[in-house]
Amino acid sequence: MKTRRLRLIINGKAADNADLRKAVAARRGAGHGVEVRVTWEGGDARRWAVEADHADVLVAAGGDGTVHEIVQGLMDRPAAERPTLGIVPLGTANDFAGGCGIPRDPLEALELCATGVGAPIDVGRANDRWFINAATSGFGAEVTASTPPELKRLFGGAAYTLMAAILAINFKPAQGRLILPDGELRDSAVVAIIGNGRQAGGGKPVAPRAFIDDGLLDILVIREVPATGLLQAGRELQALEPDGEYIFYRQAPWAEFHPDQPVPVNLDGEPVSFDRVRYEIIPGALRLIVPAGCPALARNATASVAG
């Protein structure tokens, strides 16, 4: 197998990771060129991604924020000149990497970067910002509420956690217009999720039907849910039907949100604020090294059904 030139961009907080050092030594011992850059301040990872002219694989060694910043740099480059992206998950949540099934062990993850196959994946855009995993509003680090046992028994998985959090946190709804290719919705929402990847908020599967190679965004809007509507909302969240009483769900290549007031949004966990925002998907914008059978690829799901 041909050896690869890797540019490893490490979040400065992980620079002393002993397992990562061993992983780098192992790859060099196998004949791969590994160039290391360690971030010192904001913007470093983006700049080094832009300047990665001689790398076959650009490796993001850090959490979702590091991946997010490197994606900005890769998308600054002409499409034909973008190195393949690899990930060594070293953050707290690692939502995107986790949804793709990328190993958390640095030795395994870096070996995958050096020997694995790159798959074309989509990248999302929110106005002039890029995101690879999800854009979320009203959903973030606060979603840590404990879940009532009766909901665990009824639903399991993402539904009970998300619905319990909505009741516990008491978000102020965001009012506005949601414009989609098939129409317009005037509504209020306590949670809005625009998913390319599947997980957010520390491993919670907030967009369980999303694929990173299907050319679509998964759009999930959760309206205010009174205590009396909790079970109905949980059922709707599991079913993800298009027009529930509390849950609105669509898959579309783009969406626009025109809020009455500026809304805070997390792009891959990074906070921004928009007066209005257009989300769209850019199909096949990057190549990402993923493990065989990656659950986030639509082609794998299709092959599984066909088999």
**Amino acid present at 250:** R
Strands across the sheet with 263-267, in order?
247-252, 217-222, 191-195, 134-137, 263-267, 270-274
Which 8-state DSSP code applies to residue 91? S
Catalytic, 184? Answer no
Does the CA dihedral 117-120-122-123 come out positive or negative?
positive
Catalytic residue among 35, 108, 256, 270: 270
Residue 86: in which H helix or E strand, if any? strand 84-89
Pairing between strand 57-62 and 5-10?
parallel
CB neighbour class for 181 (10 Å; exposed up to 12, middle 13-18, buried from 19): exposed
Please report, in angstroms and rounded to a whole number, the separation of the first and last CA atoms in the chain. Answer: 29
CB burial string 42-69: b at 16+ within 10 A, e below = eebbbbbbeebeebbbbbbbbbbbbbbb
Is the distance from CB of 30 to CB of 1 less than 8 angstroms?
A: no
Kindly give, in sequence order, each residue whose CB lies less than 8 Å from that of residue 225, ignoring residues fewer than 6 positions away. 163, 166, 167, 190, 233, 246
Please identify every residue annotated as catalytic. 270
